[in-house]
Chains A and B, each alone.
Chain A
Amino acid sequence: MTKIFLNDIAHGRSGDKGDTSNVCVYARKPEYYKIIEREVTPEALHAHFGDMVKGEIIRYDVPSLGGFNFVMKHALGGGATMSLRLDSLGKSMGSAVMRMKINVTDEELAEINNV
């Protein structure tokens, strides 16, 4: 097992609805989908963010697009209008998700490094 950044195998985008942050995460190659499915669970993501995300995290799987949609509630310090954060719209929440460390097996790592 090796730890890598989710960023090494995924891409996506963050948006906001009030205090809810919405981050879609796609596998950079179809074979990485199963790694994301296994590693980036709502629980793991909550552990990654700690109290920065105060509400529930829901993951919606969209295999036909090779991706996932993460909906994180009470995640933007009150949302666009009220947040005191520099990034009140959570534009950088996408890269904050990509910063998560995930476990990959030696075979998976070899596959990733083979690119």
Chain B
Amino acid sequence: MKGEYVMKKIAIGGGQGFWGDSPDAALHMLRHADIQYMACDYLAELTMSIMAKQQLKDPGKGYAPDFVTRILKEGGKEAWEKGIRILTNAGGMNITGCVEAIRQWADSAGMKGYKVGYVTGDSIKEKIPQLLKEGWTFPNFDYDGDFNEIVDKIYNCNAYIGHESIKECLKQGADVVITGRAADSALFLAPFAHEFGWAEDDWDNLARGIMAGHLLECGGQGAGGNYMYDWRGVPRMDELGFPIAEITEDTFEITKAPDCGGVICEQSCKEQFLYEVLDPANYMTPDVNVDISQATITQVGPDRVRIGNVRGKQRPDKLKLCVGYHKGWKTVSMLSFAWPDAYEKAQYCADVIMKKMAKRGMKADDIHISYIGVNSLHLNVADMSEESLKNLNECVLRIAVFSEDKSECAKIIPEISPMQLNGPPGASFFGGRAHVQEVMALWPTYVPRDALDIQAHILEV
């Protein structure tokens, strides 16, 4: 190297954007990209409640098994051999269950010495009575309401935890790290903080790591998926690559693996950059309060942009707590209608059904009627002009009913299919009878940091 100083560069790939995402880009990345880490996000706001419910029925469930069956089984051994370390919040509500599935897989794959790191302590449901006793009120930061009224209906109670314990697992040599409700971006920050030795109050650097995570945590959305600017121009969407973040002490760039589809450009990054951020000057995470209100995004090469001017401020002293609880029940029923007068027939049919339900004495707490093909997405702002409706080819009536009482919700179910014979002409019933579905709600609140006992563990195969 003739004494030339080569700046340390760490590259992390985003492998999954949600529970149910395609594994294609993650596997392509593991095989073809020059990365040292890959992080896979599985948890959306409601996912923990769904997992908690699954675990109640079957104690072996409650995590995202796809991480083991679709990512590790297909690409985990190759990643290990190459030294690519993987981080994920796939542990969900059953971290040890996920770890055990990984141990079994690694064991059967002959990967002796494979180190599984995992982080426990984000789930604090059992601590609620004590915290209430101590005077913590769990105020809902979206709506008014008294936490005591939902306390008996809680499915899960998870704090969004930061990167520190994930970093600890990496320090102890973990090849894969499993967490529960770690903040999505913390999975990405941890490797950077570990590699560069960033202090826990190095706010500007922590903010860079968080924004790298933010641009990667939604997978394909960071590389031309869900891309309003020029969706037609995205190359090879069927082989969409997911984004990769490369960070040095001085630079922060986003790119993607070689030989895959997708696009990394100023506009594609911008669409993801402010996605779900709320106040750009105060993007709160457990690790740092991020300020991107002066940030810049610049194209610096083909499928490569540079992010600048990301700043950080002191982290919040409380952690966001996500409480999922039982709210009630809903049914969704649909019927389709064709030209001529498709929309008018659907409307007429909705009236007929509602009159029948009034006679049945259905007590709904909320009813939402919309017309797929007309206004079910844009609602108030849909074009309802006579011109746009008169030659409609088809229209689907959709009736959604919510009730706290399951039996009230169920009353509408048998009334839909008879409309094929007893309603306006051409009604077509599809998809089978509706089912009553449970409605879960979220109670967004805060919890003091010291209410948690976060622990990092290592299991060696």
Report which A residues bind B (CB closer than 8 A): 11-13, 15-20, 22, 24, 26, 28, 48-52, 58, 60, 62, 64-67, 69, 71, 73, 77-82, 84-87, 91-92, 94-96, 98-100
Contact = CB atoms under 8 A, between A and B. Distances in A.
Contact of B444 (A16, A18, A77): A18
A55 to B, nearest CB: 9
Contact of A22 (B45, B277, B366): B277
B34 interface: no
Contacts of A51: 380
Interface string B250-282: 000000000000000001001111111111110
Nearest to B331: A84
Contact of B279 (A24, A26, A60): A60
B49 A81 contact: yes
B309 A87 contact: no
Interface of B: 44-46, 49, 142-143, 221, 226, 228-229, 267, 270-281, 292-297, 309, 324, 327, 330, 332, 366-368, 370, 372, 376-381, 398, 400-402, 439-442, 444
Contacts of B44: 80
A80 B226 CA distance: 18
Nearest to A28: B229
4 smallest CB-CB distances across A and B, nearest first, come from A84-B368, A15-B276, A84-B400, A24-B274
A13 B270 CA distance: 9
Nearest to A89: B44
B74 to A, nearest CB: 29
B377 A13 contact: no
A15 B324 CA distance: 20
B17 to A, nearest CB: 12
A48 B281 CA distance: 27
A64 B296 contact: yes
B402 A84 contact: yes
A12 B228 contact: yes
Nearest to A25: B274
A82 B439 contact: yes
Contact of B271 (A13, A16, A20, A62): A13
Contacts of A16: 45, 276
B378 A95 contact: yes
Given A11-B271, A12-B271, A87-B377, 18 more contacts: A13-B226, A13-B271, A13-B274, A20-B278, A22-B274, A22-B278, A24-B275, A62-B280, A67-B274, A69-B274, A69-B279, A81-B45, A81-B327, A81-B439, A84-B367, A84-B400, A85-B370, A96-B381
Contacts of A100: 381
Contacts of B294: 64
Contacts of A24: 270-271, 273-275, 277
Contacts of A66: 270
Nearest to A24: B274
A90 to B, nearest CB: 10
Given A81-B442, A84-B400, A85-B368, A96 B378 contact: yes
For the residues of B in contact with A, the DSSP-based class is: mixed
A103 to B, nearest CB: 17
A88 B366 CA distance: 15
Contacts of B381: 48-49, 52, 96, 99-100
Nearest to A91: B226
B288 to A, nearest CB: 18
A52 B379 contact: yes
A22 B439 contact: no
Contacts of B440: 81
Contacts of A52: 379-381
A17 B294 CA distance: 23
A67 B278 CA distance: 13
B378 A67 contact: no
A99 B379 CA distance: 12
Contacts of B49: 81
Nearest to A86: B376
Contacts of A64: 293-296, 309
17 contacts: A11-B228, A12-B228, A18-B142, A60-B281, A62-B280, A62-B295, A64-B296, A64-B309, A65-B296, A71-B278, A84-B367, A85-B368, A85-B370, A85-B400, A86-B377, A86-B398, A91-B226
Given A11-B228, A11-B229, A13-B226, A65 B273 contact: yes
Contacts of A15: 275-276
Nearest to B366: A84
